[in-house]
Structure 1
């Protein structure tokens, strides 16, 4: 997959089938669209292109409201897209100036003149251009003028629910990891760097790696304990992760800490990726360190059961 950080960098001699959107999470509905453009590209001797915007438009247009959290940061999104059959990814910088481009000029100046578009696929209820004025009907009208083909993909349904990034974000925030993973058709994950903590876990027999997140707007599940899969130094491990403020230790600072099963060694400053498998329990304050230790032993067993590991 070739990656460009502006439509101006796209090669002039490549005829394309295009789709566009934020594709947050690259969920099962997005994957359906990507599969379609790959099939059309192969059948019509074109190359497939995803045009996505960065930062997310809401973060630019509403700077006073930065509450929107995203399933993937840009690096995570790119890594997911590399696993598809997409030929080209164009990451276009979004700005207030860019937001003022009306739908007609967007299609003519960007999709036709820059991306050499011959065919476009859009998802259900897709809007584009200034004030989201561009609609599927606009695309149909302009396709006759500029000579491109168009197809709309119907909403993707899982268990009688229309899959969307918004619904996945809500599931993650509630801690409903199983539902989020089902809609994503992959594990929800976080990535970051391991930093030095207060080593409180080591003192009670459950050493943890403290994670400093990659990505300013990364969404996180509700505080609690989760069964997780850990990727560290190109190795796969299993573990349990705590999100929260560690109330049993009378701290107030938020942290992300993962206890990796059957693991020893110094891993400070190492990059880490964590896949969330299921929620084990809420964060809880314990009366004593011994009560906490007993609960952690139960959490370990429950995490292993969830991931079907030997206890």
Structure 2
């Protein structure tokens, strides 16, 4: 897959089959749309093109709203789309100027002249251009003028995409990673850099890698203990992750840390990827480190059982 970080980097391709969207999560609903554009491209000897935007439009149009959290970072999204066999991913920098184009300017300048769209797969509710006034009707009216075909995504499929995205976000915030994974079609994951902690885990026999995620818009699951798999240097290890404020030691800052099983290498400042497979229990305060250590021993037994059986 070729990635373009600006529309001007892209050169029109033969029989471009295009779809547009944020594709946050690249979940099962999105995958139906991607399958459709691949079918159309294969049938016409064309190439698939996804046009997405970064930052997320709401981050630019509503900068005061800090509640916007996304299932994937832009790099994670690109990895997932590449795995699905998309040919071209255009990541357009979203700005107020970009959002102020008229519907016809957007269709003519972006979709036709820049991308060379021959087929566009789009939902009835997709909006674009100044004040989001452009939509499916504009595309249908201008398709014969600019010689492209519009394929509408069925309303039920659009509903499935919207519902899935909402339910995934809500499930993750409630620590229900099993449910989120059902809708995603793959284990939810985070990528981050390992940083030095205060070595409390090491003191009680369960050393942890503390993970820092640079992208503040990345959605983090609710607090608790999770059965995870951790990718370090392309090798996957089992482990148990903790998200929370560490109330037993009166912590206040929210941490993400993981005890990687059968692993004793120092990986400070390395990038790791952590897949969430199961929720084990919520965060809780213990009366001292000895009781915490006893609970963690039980957590490890539970985690291994969960990872073996599913």
Partners of 2:157 and 2:274 in 1: how far apart? 27
Q: For each residue in 1:96-149, what CA deviation from the matched residue of structure 2 results, as whole angstroms up to 9, or x when unmatched?
A: 111111222111110011100010001463222222222223222222322211
Residue 161 of structure 1 deviates from its aligned partner by 9.2
**In the TM superposition, what are the counterparts of 1:1-311 in structure 2 within 5 Å?**
1-12=1-12, 14-123=14-123, 125-154=125-154, 155-156=156-157, 163-308=163-308
Aligned residue pairs: how many?
Answer: 309
Contact persistence 1:33–1:123 (CA under 8 A): no
What TM-score, normalized by structure 2, do the two folds share?
0.95
Residue 167 of structure 1 deviates from its aligned partner by 2.3
Contact persistence 2:13–2:115 (CA under 8 A): no
Q: For each residue in 1:20-48, what CA deviation from the matched residue of structure 2 results, as whole angstroms up to 9, or x when unmatched?
A: 01111111111111111111111112111
Partners of 2:142 and 2:164 in 1: how far apart? 27
Q: For each residue in 1:175-221, what CA deviation from the matched residue of structure 2 results, as whole angstroms up to 9, or x when unmatched?
A: 11111111110111000111010010010111100001142210011
Contact persistence 1:28–1:156 (CA under 8 A): no
Q: For each residue in 1:58-91, what CA deviation from the matched residue of structure 2 results, as whole angstroms up to 9, or x when unmatched?
A: 1011111121001111111111111012111101
Q: Using a 3 Å threshold, how does the CA distance of structure 1 residues 106 and 53 change in structure 2: closer, same or farther?
A: same
Partners of 1:15 and 1:161 in 2: how far apart? 26
Partners of 1:163 and 1:113 in 2: how far apart? 34
Contact persistence 2:99–2:128 (CA under 8 A): no
Q: Which sits farther off after the overlay, 13-22 or 90-99?
A: 13-22
Contact persistence 2:123–2:136 (CA under 8 A): no
5+ residue gaps, structure 2: none
CA-atom RMSD in angstroms:
1.9
Partners of 2:12 and 2:152 in 1: how far apart? 26
Residue 309 of structure 1 deviates from its aligned partner by 6.3
3-state SS in 1 of match to 2:179? helix
5+ residue gaps, structure 1: none
Contact persistence 2:226–2:276 (CA under 8 A): yes
What TM-score, normalized by structure 1, do the two folds share?
0.94
